[in-house]
Each structure stands twice: as C-alpha cells, then as structure tokens.
Amino acid sequence: MSNQLQGKVYIVTGGSRGFGLAIANSLVAQGARVGLLSRNQAGLDEAIAGIGRDHAFGVVADVGNRGAISAAFEQIKRHFGRLDGLVNNAGLARPNAIENLVEEEVLLQVQTNFVGTVFCSQAAIPLLRGGENPRIVNISSASAFHHDEMSHLSIYAATKAAVERFTRDLREELQHDGIGVSCIRPGNAWTSFSDGWDTVALQAGLEAWTHTGTYMDTGMEVAQVGDAVAYVVSQPVGVAVDLLEIRPNTLIPKISL
C-alpha cells in the first residue's frame, strides 16, 4: 500500500457504489480518508463498513440541493479536521429516444450531473482555499465526446459535455488560489450504473446502438477509474492534469450483449 496521500481528506460524491466507491477505495489505499456523499443511507452505510470507519465518513445529501451540500461539506471537514479535495462523481442517466424524453427525467439528469457539479464546486472552494495542494476533480464521460457510445443517452451526454466546459472555466478561476482542477473522462466499465433503468427504453437504446457499428470497447474495471483519480490528485503543487481520458481497449461484438 502506497502512502502518497497520507492524512489527506477528499469528498467523493456518489460515493456509495460504482465509480464513486472505486475512487474512494483507491484514495484510501494511498493513505487518504474520504467523506462520501450519497442519496441512499443503506448504500452509504455498506460502503463505509467496507472501507472502514477510521477511513470513511458519510453524509446523506442530494447534490442538486445547494443548502444540503454546503452543510454536508462543512460536516465532513469538521469530522476530519481538514479538506484537501473534492471529486464530483455523482451522476445518473435515463435512456430514451429524444422524441420520447420525459420531462422529469430530463430535469433529474441536468440537476444531478451538471447543476450538482456546480453546487458542489461552489461549496468546496472556500473550504479548500489556502490548503497545501487542494484539488477538484470532475468526472465526465466518454459519451460527451465519442460518437460510438451507447445510443439514447442524449441528455446524459449533454450534461457531461457541460461538465467539461464548466471545468475549463473553473480551472482558470481557481489558479489564483492554487486549487488544481482536473477532468477525467472514463469510458464504460462494468458497474451498477444502469440499475433501475426502464427495461424497454434500455433495450431500444441497445438496439439503436447496434446500428452504429459492429463492435464495442470493453474490459475496463471501476478500479482503473479510481486509480486515475488517485493519480490526478497526487500531482505536485503547481501541476494539474487538465483532461485525462481512460477507456477500455478490448473489442467484443455488440451482438453479444
């Protein structure tokens, strides 16, 4: 186990499962402690039990609620006595053809994926200012840039593209405070991300996807994304990874899905 991040504290939103939990595990493996945010108490409790209560602390909060986020961040900093960084990972998708998009699901994705990133960044800035090597890492998606990602995720992809554009301005504004800002753009990995999706809408998206090409990239584990975040926040003072893309590199036929 490396101790490169020994004693540092990072908030990870959406930290109870998937990429978020993998990110938390990678940070802890390098000596850090993590404050996890999730909307689900049971999932949060399970994640903290797995990591260990000496290394993890959790708060139930919706990233789209600005007041709740500010209170949660203050609580985490008080618990650990410091804060060194934020990983804006919380995100969700609701697949559907554009013609059939449901208003509630559109607004939920925009509020969680993009507005949540904005609110969390705002809450973190004053708590990070003056730190020895503070960091904000925003998690995007290959769907924001590549055309051969799964079909019928237009709103999800658009919100992640907005996150990338927002990150550019955030980086420029926070240089004066010495806060390093980075964006990580992961491709697909086997997670529980699609749990709860409408099965009919999901199947329609998968069928549409088969017409965009014969093969898909696969083979990446969530741990690789976690390690990418640990690498980014481990950069020395005055150095920040701008954009890091990590994608699977093994081809399989889409028809095998």
Average pLDDT estimate for 155-159: 97
pLDDT(124) > 50: yes
| Active site annotation includes 156 | yes
Question: What is the side-by-side order of every strand in the sheet holding 135-139?
Answer: 56-60, 33-38, 9-13, 85-88, 135-139, 180-186, 243-246
CA atoms within 13 A on the CB side of 102: 10
Q: Is 194 a catalytic residue?
A: no
Distance, CA of 223 to CA of 41 (rounded, Å) = 23
Task: List the catalytic residue out of 10, 16, 70, 77.
Answer: 16
On the question of pLDDT at 194 being above 90, the answer is: no
For the chain, percent of residues with pLDDT exceeding 90:
78
| CA separation for the pair 140, 13 (Å, rounded) | 13
Work out the angle between the directed axes of helices 18-29 and 222-233 (0-180°, nearest 10).
50
Q: Which of 8, 77, 160, 254 is catalytic?
A: 160
CATH architecture assignment, domain 9-245:
3-Layer(aba) Sandwich (3.40)
Beta-carbon count within 10 A of 215 CB: 13
Per residue in 70-96, pLDDT (tens digit) is 999 999 999 999 999 999 999 999 999
Structure tokens at 216: 């898909």
What is the DSSP-derived secondary structure letter of residue 257?
-
Q: What is the pLDDT of residues 35-75, one digit of tens each?
A: 999 999 999 999 999 999 999 999 999 999 999 999 999 99
Residue of 26, 70, 121, 140 marked catalytic: 140
- List the domain boundaries for the chain: 9-245
> Which residue of the set 156, 182, 234, 254 is catalytic?
156
**Whether residue 16 lies in the annotated active site:** yes
Strand duo 215-218 + 250-253: pairing: antiparallel
pLDDT at 250 over 90: no
Q: Is 121 a catalytic residue?
A: no
